[in-house]
Chain A
């Protein structure tokens, strides 16, 4: 407390203030000053702290509010995105599930139908077995019918072979005096070969030729000069006189027919030739009139009657033959045709003049 005049004045004006108490009071104040200062400082620090804290709190609140609002705004924004993504993934999962289902069903179907169709395979194998049975039966039938034919052919060829053998060995046939080897007295009836021997007939050369031609596994070059098969001798008489050589005989026999001209011409050849000549002459003839000889020329002249005498007497009807008959109804137009081009005078003279 400063000592001012104003203070002194104010102090003097106060009624109850005495000097002593005033000095004691001042002394007390001096002594309490430190305590007061400390107290004041304490109060002030507390107050300041309070103020600052309040300020801080205020700031904090402000910041929190701002942040709160900002966070809310921001999160709401990203929440939308998040929500959209989440929705998207959920949708996709849903679709995927369904797609998996479809694909699963399709793959199962496709594999079962096209890649490895168990039932088709089963049916195929069963039908194949049935078809095999049918094929077996059919083959058996066909082969059965063919077997008859093959058998028949085999038997036929066998028969033919036996017949040929019989032909070649026909001398083994049994006679009344001597029974042949196939006609044993101990058998009830003669063997089959005996029958064949009896029925065997000599074959002519032409037949032999044909038979061996049919059996054409042999070479055709063997056909030309064939050696004859040896005819077994009948031991009755010795052969007469000197014969010609075998090869000569066969050459004679096999010689092709070369008829003489007299034999080769037919009986009616003269008439045919005459007819032929006539026909040729008629064909090549240009003039049909008989060419009369010059000798009795005047006598042989043929009489040519006049045209007038050879027609009917009298004149013909007027208008039929003398004048041209014109029927104008059939004309295209009533007027006669006009020539468009002029005739060429030079060509008019053709044939009429000497140049």
Chain B
């Protein structure tokens, strides 16, 4: 065979391989082909092609594998068992940018499924190669490398710690300031995944001056970047008081409320989560937030949104009101209660949102009699009672409704509000109601007259009580008072 013939055969072989990997790559990008490809055992065919001589075949084979693995976890496990990962990782620094992107695609697809797979990826020494990738100039390569880190750090604290130990955080902070939007997005989301696990990790992220940079990115027009920025800030702020104070000192606060009305839903939810996490810690922080004008923003937010988006805002109101009595009064005066009652009555699907609303109402009303009166004024108590007694509310919901009722009732001395509760309530609630009556009636003759007139007296006399119960005793006490 002559030289030319040999070359021709080799060229055809190369063409064949190229065609194969390209088609596989296209097919793998669609999810519905997965089963077919798995049955055809394409993985075993693609794996040796990843170590092929020709660089473009190598690269497209890696890309195809990456897409395949991205769709299913079993293929990822097969890939890990096939011990191909160490070879990919070792060859990562040596090849050109296209190969790097394809290889990082594979690593990312493997790492995103579960913590064990991510650990396997890290054990191959990926992190060092990724650090080398991060040194590159090409932003696409950096983006893919950071995306791998993101997926690795997402699963649990040890992996996030491993990523931080590899020295990723300074790179991430630098990448956040690059002009390319995609790179910034992915860097911020990596920081968010790292800092969400524990306080030390959040500290490490916060101490490199990240928060100031993030605060400047808040008003960036790009939606996905804003989502990630707020997510990082809330993950950092949720761990401890110092970190929350750091976030507040970055002067995010009045600006953040603008984004509460962003057209994108996820951004709004993340902002509400941020406010909730910061208000949770201490009363000074809540006071700071309220002074910055949180209350009108939150109340309007609750009014305008639907569903689970409202949940963090409702909880934020609850936490703010829980810390101090002045703040609870402020919440009441900002017309928070009509909104909360509206949530309670109108929210059709999400029961956990209603449970949170019940909790918040309990926190607001539990401080003093004025607060209890304000809360009871919106006809809240019968609703809470109804929730508590209805059989199709979940246990959690019922618990929260009961605690809220108890809190409010212990301070409520406004008799017209207590009256509707006399009719259908179960024993333990009724006990509290009657106790409240017995507190008010001895001192107020007007109340006594209305009490008798409105038939509440009759109602109390109708109550069948078990002997020896507290209810009986308060009942007797009342009767004595009236006679």
Contacts and interface: CB of A to CB of B under 8 A. Distances in A.
Interface string A127-161: 01101111110010011001001100110000000
Contacts of B101: 219-221
Contacts of B262: 150
A213 to B, nearest CB: 9
Interface in B164-185: 180-182
B293 A227 contact: no
Interface stretch (B295-303, B387-395, B412-420): B295-303
Interface residues of A, number: 28
A143 B98 contact: no
Contacts of B333: 125, 128-129
Contact of A132 (B56, B105, B295): B295
A128 B289 CA distance: 12
Contacts of A260: none
Interface residues of B, number: 38
B440 interface: no
B16 interface: no
A220 B143 contact: yes
Contact of B334 (A132, A219, A224): A132
A283 interface: no
A125 B326 contact: yes
Given A221-B63, A221-B102, A128 B330 contact: yes
Contacts of A121: 326
Interface stretch (B46-54, B253-261, B396-404, B430-438): B253-261
Interface in B270-293: 290-291, 293
Interface string B305-349: 000000000000000000000100110011000000000000000
A217 interface: yes
Contacts of B19: 247
A46 interface: no
B144 interface: yes
A247 B297 CA distance: 57
Interface string A206-237: 00000000001101110011010000000000
A135 B257 contact: yes
B22 interface: yes
Candidate in A132, A135, A146, A216 with the most chain B CB atoms within 10 angstroms:
A132
A135 B253 CA distance: 12
A150 to B, nearest CB: 5
B105 A221 contact: yes
Contacts of A150: 262-263
Contacts of B330: 125, 128
Contacts of A220: 101, 140, 143-144
A223 to B, nearest CB: 8
Contact of B329 (A125, A135, A216): A125
Nearest to A149: B221
A100 interface: no
Q: Is the interface of A mostly helix, strand, loop or mixed?
A: helix
A124 B22 contact: no
A132 B289 CA distance: 12
Candidate in A129, A142, A219 with the most chain B CB atoms within 10 angstroms:
A219
Interface string A103-142: 0000000000000000001001100110111111001001
Contacts of B295: 128, 132
B60 interface: yes
A338 B101 CA distance: 84
A133 B60 CA distance: 60
A143 B300 CA distance: 13
Nearest to A214: B181
B59 interface: yes
A134 B291 CA distance: 12
A256 to B, nearest CB: 13
Nearest to B264: A150
Contacts of B63: 221
Contacts of A136: 296, 300
Contacts of B182: 216-217
B258 A221 contact: no
Contact of B98 (A124, A132, A139, A221): A221
Contacts of A139: 257-258, 261, 293, 296-297, 300
A129 B334 contact: yes
A121 B287 CA distance: 13
Given A143-B261, A146-B258, A135 B293 contact: yes
B22 A143 contact: no
A312 B82 CA distance: 100
- What 10 A-B pairs are tightest by C-beta distance, nearest first? A135-B293, A220-B140, A216-B182, A132-B296, A136-B296, A143-B261, A221-B101, A221-B63, A150-B263, A142-B258
Given A131-B291, A219-B101, 10 more contacts: A121-B326, A136-B300, A143-B258, A153-B221, A216-B181, A220-B143, A220-B144, A224-B59, A247-B19, A247-B22
Interface of B: 19, 22, 26, 56, 59-60, 63, 66, 98, 101-102, 105, 140, 143-144, 180-182, 221, 224, 254, 257-258, 261-263, 290-291, 293, 295-297, 300, 326, 329-330, 333-334
13 contacts: A125-B329, A125-B330, A125-B333, A131-B291, A132-B295, A136-B300, A139-B261, A220-B140, A221-B63, A221-B101, A221-B144, A224-B56, A224-B98
